Amino acid sequence: MDLSYSMKDDLENVKNLGTHLMLEMSKITTDFKIGFGSFVEKTVMPYISTTPAKLLNPCTGDQNCTSPFSYKNVLKLTSNGQEFNTLVGQQQISGNLDSPEGGFDAIMQVAVCGEHIGWRNVTRLLVFSTDAGFHFAGDGKLGGIVLPNDGKCHLENDMYTMSHYYDYPSIAHLVQKLSDNNIQTIFAITEEFQPVYMELKNLIPKSAVGTLSANSSNVINLIIDAYNSLSSEVILENSKLPEGVTIMYQSRCKNGVTGEGEMGRKCSNISIGDEVFFIISITAKQCPKMGKPETIKIKPLGFNEEVEITLNFICECDCHKHGIENSEICHNGNGTYECGACRCNEGRIGRQCECSTNEVTSEDLDKSCRKDNGTDICSNNGDCVCGTCECKKRENPEERYSGKFCECDNFNCDRSNNKLCGGHGHCECRVCICDANWTGSACDCSLDTTTCLASNKQICNGRGTCECGTCKCTDPKFQGPSCEICPTCPGVCTEHKECVQCRAFGTGEKKDTCERDCSYFNLIKVKDRGKLPQPGQAFPLMHCKERDANDCWFYYTYAVNNKTEKEVHVVETLDCPAGPDIIPIVAGVVAGIVLIGLALLLIWKLLMIIHDRREFAKFEKEKMNAKWDTQENPIYKSPINKFQNPNYGHKAVVL
């Protein structure tokens, strides 16, 4: 996990990850361990101009942060989720100045330090969580680091000690080490850096990318989803091939899906119990220089199992001493059968000496049987006889290869309902040719619109389109096989009122015919109105409020679910008015209280008017009797002082 300052709120959510993740993973496996490591950045970068005190606490203000570090193995893999919570809870965030982080250093150490991390010989997952980009090989030059990463473990006291000495690893180097150690990577990244890590995912086989929320609150769901995605795909890889040796893959995956070339290496969308097949062809075009056996290892990415193939090259031997001259195997005696092959007589060529050099040259044999230089002879589905492909026969006489290079067949087309071309067409050169009124890659889409006709003889009731014999309603209010059902249209509540009343409460006009007339919907009773379904679900919903003959209200909802089943949720108790003996008393008491209140209000208003008039009259009288003294106050002294220049008005003296 990235422990730079921007991940502060994320750390708070990860602190309780251990026990929660253990609980979720226990639903998948009974043998699960979890560990924790953190990274920030190399601390020698010269463009970080700071003081030693700032390196000890790189955060600003009164924030208490730990000094930056490259990688720290906080907790070795353990089955104790509480220990995870405790140790992670003790971690502090750190900080640095540039945006990219040193996560590649951390990934390399996690991959190669097996004993320190605690990897076992089982499925290995690495969850890489950050909200920033990454430094890679070459960026170390910014800090004066030029030595390439050596891909070895350098953990001492659980700290990476050579970050100042070795450059960041390259992507290719990481791919190699992750593959060698069977580690599958889950990149838990914030949305801002999704495009960057999606490109990285394309370079790292058997990896996944998930969108991390701003505070990492969804990290558990992200890990579970990514794990399910990784475990549903098998990808084969092989070790380095000897010189002159090539390998080809063909896959036979789930639901008849096939692949060749690079696509022949993998099968997707598989689950536990599914069986898939891989056909692997190894071709040696020449003998190795030393003539010694070579070994190829083939394994599925992310798994520990592997197949080891030893190639023994027979380059020279003395079996020709036991050859059979003019053997019948060599086209009626046109060659000598030795060392398991025909050595043709002069003037004859071909695998079984079946061709004459007057008819075709040896250079033309293979060339004319290949579609191009990158394909097999006769597409590996036939034999090249005198420059012409003769396609192989199948055990099933109805299945056959065809085409100039045997590149076509009539049994590898798409299937529907386990039928070739859905039973509505025939297969030609691996493409379905559909019958009339059928289309689609597997001829499983009907063009017949009669199944989409509504009762008004309009296609999909004029409120949708007919696709493959099924209505796709374009008006969200309408549902059903022919877009005729509208749960939220006016009148729906009244239409179903009597049936809801009789089925829920055994009353109403249809109580005697309820079983016959009102069994067309599923009834679900709830305790109160708060338990009724609310708008916003996947299908339209109508809230209804109806009154029965006793002036009691009952509440229910009507909807048609995604399976076109009608559902009614009804509150199990009626909302009835108070009893007849109580109503007059309550009404009388309320009326009396209202009248008394009005009387008191009128009395108060009258008293206030009388009081105001008396006070106003008193004020007018005092104003008339007032005798104001207009003489000047004897102790009053004006604040204004006047001064005059004594020379003002006199002529100036001439000196």
pLDDT tens, residue by residue, 143-191: 888 899 999 999 999 999 998 899 999 999 999 999 888 898 989 888 8
Contact of 452 with 466, CB cutoff 8 Å: yes
Looking from the CA of 98 toward its CB, the CA atoms found within 13 Å total: 18
3-class SS of residue 42: coil
621 vs 315, residue with greater confidence? 621
Determine the average pLDDT of the residues in 242-267. Answer: 89
d(CA 88, CA 430): 56
pLDDT at 104: 92
pLDDT at 347: 83
d(CA 108, CA 172): 11
Give 409's strand partners: 401
pLDDT at 44: 59
Contact of 285 with 245, CB cutoff 8 Å: yes
CA neighbor of 462 nearest in space, from 482, 492, 440: 482
642 vs 308, residue with greater confidence? 308
Contact of 542 with 490, CB cutoff 8 Å: no
Q: Is the pLDDT of residue 48 over 90?
A: no
pLDDT at 630: 46
pLDDT tens digits along 580-598: 555 556 566 777 888 888 8
pLDDT at 49: 45
Q: Specify the amino acid at residue 53.
A: A
pLDDT tens digits along 565-576: 888 899 988 888
Query: Which contacts qualify for 112-116: CB closer than 8 Å, 24 or more apart?
Result: 112/151, 112/152, 112/153, 112/177, 112/181, 113/73, 113/153, 113/155, 114/181, 116/73, 116/76, 116/153, 116/155, 116/158
pLDDT at 228: 79
- Which residues are CB-contacts of 216 (< 8 A; sequence separation ≥ 6)? 7, 9, 10, 13, 14, 129, 188
d(CA 628, CA 622): 12
pLDDT tens digits along 535-545: 766 567 788 88
Three-state SS string over 369-400 comes to: CCCCCCCCHHHHCEEEECCEEEECECCCCCCE
Give 189's strand partners: 130, 211
516 vs 461, residue with greater confidence? 516
CA neighbor of 231 nearest in space, from 359, 123, 357: 123
Q: Is the pLDDT of residue 651 over 70?
A: no
Q: Is the pLDDT of residue 432 over 90?
A: yes
| pLDDT band (50, 70, 90) for residue 632 | low
194 vs 68, residue with greater confidence? 194
306 is written with which tokens? 């592997």
In order of 473, 586, 587, 590, 602, the CA distances from 593 in angstroms are 59, 11, 10, 5, 14
Residues of the chain with pLDDT > 90: what percent? 17
User: What is the C-alpha end-to-end distance of the chain, expressed in Å?
Assistant: 98
Give the number of residues written for the chain. 655
d(CA 140, CA 137): 7
CA neighbor of 266 nearest in space, from 282, 281, 250: 250
pLDDT at 106: 93
The DSSP code for 233 is -
In order of 2, 25, 228, the CA distances from 79 in angstroms are 23, 11, 21
Any alpha helices (H) in 481-581, and if so which ranges?
A: 492-505, 514-517
166 vs 225, residue with greater confidence? 166
Average pLDDT, the chain: 82
pLDDT at 148: 92
Pairing of β 183-190 and β 207-212: parallel
- Residue 607 sits at φ, ψ, to 5 deg, of -60, -40
- If residue 546 lies in a helix (H) or strand (E), which one and from where to where? strand 541-547
3-class SS of residue 92: coil
3-class SS of residue 70: coil
d(CA 275, CA 273): 6
CA neighbor of 365 nearest in space, from 271, 81, 354: 354
pLDDT tens digits along 327-377: 888 988 889 888 888 888 888 887 788 888 777 665 666 777 888 877 888
325 is written with which tokens? 């001259």
Q: Specify the amino acid at residue 566.
A: K
3-state helix, strand, coil in the chain (%, to 5): 30, 25, 45
Determine the average pLDDT of the residues in 61-82. Answer: 83
pLDDT at 53: 47
Q: Specify the amino acid at residue 182.
A: N
Q: Is the pLDDT of residue 218 over 50?
A: yes
Contact of 223 with 17, CB cutoff 8 Å: no
- Which residues are CB-contacts of 546 (< 8 A; sequence separation ≥ 6)? 493, 494, 497, 500, 501, 553, 554, 556
pLDDT at 631: 53
pLDDT tens digits along 134-148: 988 888 888 888 899
pLDDT at 364: 61
